[in-house]
Chain A
């Protein structure tokens, strides 16, 4: 199997998925959850089926920029602009009176504008700091070329997940594609997993390079990928199984979270096999020292 030789095809496949995502992010941005945009969100459960359109009509009377989405047959998700304490109490009392509300299965969240701004800055900063420290560690253990290739693979995964979510949330207008704090957690998890995966293959390359052999660098990298393929696939498969199960049974409010993890883990496995290591070869060709 020659993975390194066909590297351009694999790079192309990655680009084909990333580019639409980047275009979508640049032109449409994200569908922001209240964590980032600020606002109030009611996740209401009813004891009988209720249509979202009926609740929407009721919410429109309050004039609070409410959007109501169906969440299961007897549940709705209401998002509004930031409400005052008095408004919130009035709306809640009104809904409880007009619909068969089940408070013990409902949830509510409110995020003020200052907190939202901090979270946006914080999330970007966390990814940057973590990346820099990982580059530093990998530069010590391997060398800076390995470190930068690992980070490129990591950024690939971040762009795939965020790009797909921009498309889901803005182009298809699905609530699933909402960006919130849980989504940030998912991206951070993906980062951890992606680097983890890449390092395992890099370790193999490091080991094979130390042994005297007649193989070229390119052949060596390809051999290392093949040697660790069973492990890469096996480990990812077990995690993917768990995530698919989680996705299927998870309630509406965390489905987006499990889906982001699922996409990210698959992307992470792909990028460590088909991008990170072949990139080493490309770099070596450009700069054969």
Chain B
């Protein structure tokens, strides 16, 4: 096996990309004319327009590292007529609205399992979180009539939305979310297109019947034909009315895609949560506590890497230099992957990463021990290195695959905290295999080709006595 130029080129390309992503915050600061130190404005985003690529590049810190509140909510007593997962999705949409309208950045609201919702609010304490979640949003239906909105309307609604059509103003219809008993996505039996089925209580039914009967008299496309749905202050839907809707239930059609019909149904349901939402678990971490955990982990990481490099240099000499370079490259690649794919780093995740550093070192140790053996057996440097990598490979493969099996099980069946651990460990193990069999191996081949590097003492081996 000789030095493979294509593999070397691959290593170089990967290294350059990884270093570029690792240092991306600085590239971003330069590109946006910001000073290189101090707090950063905006989120570093990499966009390559002709590839349609746009991605935020930064380390996503978990709540245990940046401080904030993590809540797990459970929905019970689901309203009759809807399934638990449907109720869960409606509740997710409602809670998402409440959280977003409170203006907290980088919050996460996502479904978990059959009837759970996970809410993550960075930088928010538990009391604030409870207030945000306890807030109810208010759905109202309006119509557009000629005129200009007065001060009271502009106060009640978002001015931009209230002035959407010049020459028209929104006027209340008296219909609100409390009158809607259910809304769901359905399909038009004639055209096979998605639409939204809606049902009202008796009062809502009467008001909606009169309202739609009046609206259909106006030409299609005119603002006066439209049904405007506001949630709190924001206009969320502005649909055409095609026919009158009486009798307590109706269908809203008109240019929906499956997704937009689903969204509309969820919006219509937003008045009230579709069941009882209770707090199943909560975790609150103070901001300084999180920051000190990060500092601690970085310290441990730096300390660990230093010890490993020192040990490799003292014990394995020249190959130790190779391993150290391979390890640093390994760390750079893993960090770049975390940033590029927005992997959320938690304390458990950092542990997975530190463990994977141990496994990356192990692959190098396995190779070097084999190389030493081959050298002691009297092989030439090039042959010993080739045989070393070759013979260490089955052990590296089998041990890493069994670790990946564990990661797989943890990721698919584990609790959220354990998932984070599994992802970082799996990424680490995957990259460590690349690092050992491509990077270390190619660097060793380069060494074997250098005349000054051929003294066996550089490898911690005494020259075999002539047999």
Contact = CB atoms under 8 A, between A and B. Distances in A.
B417 interface: yes
A182 interface: yes
A200 to B, nearest CB: 5
B413 interface: yes
Interface string B282-305: 111111110011001001100110
Contacts of B362: 196, 200, 231, 235
A176 to B, nearest CB: 17
A97 interface: no
Nearest to A43: B289
B405 interface: yes
Interface of chain A, main secondary structure: helix
Given A191-B406, A238-B307, A249-B299, A107 B398 contact: no
B279 interface: yes
B461 to A, nearest CB: 13
A37 interface: no
Given A238-B308, A238-B311, A231 B369 contact: yes
Nearest to B311: A238
Contact of A251 (B296, B308, B366, B373): B296
A51 to B, nearest CB: 21
Interface stretch (A16-24, A56-64, A98-106, A276-284): A98-106
- Most interface-central of B315, B361, B410 (chain A CB within 10 A): B410
Contacts, number: 189
B418 A137 contact: no
Nearest to B418: A185
Contacts of A122: 413-415
Nearest to B280: A112
A87 interface: no
Interface string A104-145: 111111111011001100100110011001100110010000
B421 interface: yes
A224 to B, nearest CB: 11
Interface residues of B, number: 67
A104 B365 contact: no
Contacts of A195: 399, 402-403, 406
Interface stretch (B99-107, B144-152, B351-359): B351-359
B289 to A, nearest CB: 5
A18 B300 CA distance: 31
A242 interface: yes
Interface residues of A, number: 68
A250 interface: yes
A7 B408 CA distance: 34
Interface in A263-278: none
A129 B408 CA distance: 10
Contact of B361 (A112, A130, A204, A235): A235
A65 interface: no
Nearest to B69: A108
A245 B301 CA distance: 10
Contacts of A185: 348, 351, 417-418, 421
A257 to B, nearest CB: 8
B280 A249 contact: no
B209 interface: no
B39 interface: no
B287 A104 contact: yes
B72 interface: yes
Given A186-B351, A257-B351, 7 more contacts: A114-B74, A185-B418, A192-B407, A192-B425, A206-B394, A231-B369, A239-B355
9 contacts: A102-B288, A104-B286, A104-B288, A112-B280, A118-B415, A134-B405, A185-B351, A192-B355, A245-B304
Interface of A: 45, 85, 88-89, 92, 102-112, 114-115, 118-119, 122, 125-126, 129-130, 133-134, 137-138, 141, 181-182, 184-186, 188-189, 191-193, 195-197, 199-200, 203-204, 206-207, 227-228, 230-231, 234-235, 237-239, 241-242, 245-246, 249-251, 254, 257, 261
